Amino acid sequence: MRQKTLIALTLFALLVSSMSIARSAFAVNKVIGSKQCSDSNCHKSIFDQMLFHPHESFFNKDFEEKGKKIAQKMNVKDHFDDKKCAQCHTTLVDSKYPKVPDEEKGLFGIICETCHNPAEDWVELHDKKGKVEEAVKNGMRNTRNLYAWAKDCFACHRGAKEEYFKAGHRPGDKFDLIKYSQGDFKHWVWSKKEKEEGNLDAKLMEKLGKIWITGEVFQAQTSAMRISEASGSGEFTSKNHAMLVAALKNLEVVEKSIPSDNLRKIIDAGKKVTPDPATAKAVVEEIKKLANSYVGDLDKSPIGAGKISAFPIPGENEYIRKKK
C-alpha cells in the first residue's frame, strides 16, 4: 500500500512538473497536510476560511455530479483518482479520496501547501524569530514574490486544455487575479514594519496595481498558450482569443502610462495572434520569455498611486461569495 502510494506520488510529481506553465518542482512527499497549521491555532482562521472555499469543493455532491459527466466524456473512470482531474483539484493523488470525511476535506483539496509549498523542511523554522529567510531557503514560498504565486494560480485556473472544454469543463474565463485573490480569498495582513511605516492606502493601491498588471500579462500569455495547443479555430480557440484581446487592451493602457520595451513587445506579439493556432504557435515562446522578465521587473520598482488610479482595476472586494 505504502509503495503504491509512493508510486502515485512520484507520478504526480512528474506530471505536475511537466504541466504547461508548470508549477515549479512540487515535492509531494514533503506535504504534511494542513491540520498542523490549524491545530496549533496559529492559522485557525485561515484554515476555516479555506474549508469554506470552493478550493475544497472536489469532495462535494454537487461537484461529483458535474464532474462525473465531464469525466465520462474524457474516458476517466474515477475522477477522484485520475491525474487528469486530480492534478488541479487536489494536492495529493491517493485512492483514499472518495472516503474523505467532511472534517478532513481541507487536508486534501487545494490546501496551504499547494500554494505555500510542501512544508516538511520549513514548518519548524518559519515561525521562529529571524528565521523566515532560512525557511524560504528551505522551500517556503515567499509570498511577496508576486510573479511566483500568480504563476501557480494561472497554471490551474487557465490550464485546462481544449479536450477538457470539449467535455464540458469551464475554460477559466472567469479568472481575474484581483477579484479571485482578494475578496473572500484574501488572507494576507500588513506586516508590523509596514504598519509602522504608515501610508497603507498608497501601499494597497500599489499592491493591487501590480497584481492587476501581472494578472493581465498572464491572461495574455495563457490565452496564447491555449490557442497554440488547440486543434483548430473552434469555440475554445475563439473564447481564448477573446480573452487575449481583452488582456491586450488593458496592457495597452498600462504601456501608455508606464512605457516599457518588454511590454510593448508582448503586446505586439500578442496582436499577431488570430483565432488560428498556427499564429499563436509562432509567438508563444517569445511571449512567455518576455512576460517572465517583464513581471519579474515589475516587482522591483514602485509605479505610483497616480498612475494606477487611471487603470480599470476592479475593486478588491468585488468577489465575495455568500456563505451557505
Residues that bind ligand HEC (CB under 6 A): 34, 37, 43, 46-47, 50, 54-55, 57-58, 63, 66-67, 70-71, 74, 76, 79, 84-85, 87-89, 110-112, 114-116, 143, 149, 152-153, 156-157, 159-160, 164, 169-170, 172, 174-175, 180-181, 185, 187-189, 321
Beta carbon nearer to ligand HEC, 97 or 262: 97
Give how far Cα 206 sits from Cα of 93, 141, 198, 211, 306, Å: 38, 21, 14, 9, 10
Give how far Cα 212 sits from Cα of 77, 78, 146, 253, Å: 39, 37, 11, 12
Beta carbon nearer to ligand HEC, 160 or 266: 160
CB of 309: closest distance to ligand HEC in angstroms?
Answer: 19
CB of 272: closest distance to ligand HEC in angstroms?
Answer: 26
Beta carbon nearer to ligand HEC, 105 or 116: 116
Beta carbon nearer to ligand HEC, 24 or 293: 24
Non-local CB neighbours of 77 within 8 Å, separated by 6+ positions: 71
CB of 49: closest distance to ligand HEC in angstroms?
Answer: 8
| Rg from Cα positions in the chain | 20
CB of 181: closest distance to ligand HEC in angstroms?
Answer: 4
Report d(CA 68, CA 128) in Å as an integer: 45
Report d(CA 77, CA 79) in Å as an integer: 6
CB of 285: closest distance to ligand HEC in angstroms?
Answer: 20
Contact 31, 85 (CB under 8 A): no
Q: Residue 286: is it exposed, middle or buried by C-beta count within 10 angstroms (0-12/13-18/19+)?
A: middle
Non-local CB neighbours of 5 within 8 Å, separated by 6+ positions: 94
Beta carbon nearer to ligand HEC, 72 or 256: 72
CB of 261: closest distance to ligand HEC in angstroms?
Answer: 28
Grid cell in block for residue 286: 517569445
Non-local CB neighbours of 131 within 8 Å, separated by 6+ positions: 125
Beta carbon nearer to ligand HEC, 71 or 217: 71
Beta carbon nearer to ligand HEC, 194 or 261: 194
Beta carbon nearer to ligand HEC, 36 or 279: 36
Contact 216, 312 (CB under 8 A): no
CB of 107: closest distance to ligand HEC in angstroms?
Answer: 10
CB of 100: closest distance to ligand HEC in angstroms?
Answer: 14
Contact 258, 212 (CB under 8 A): no
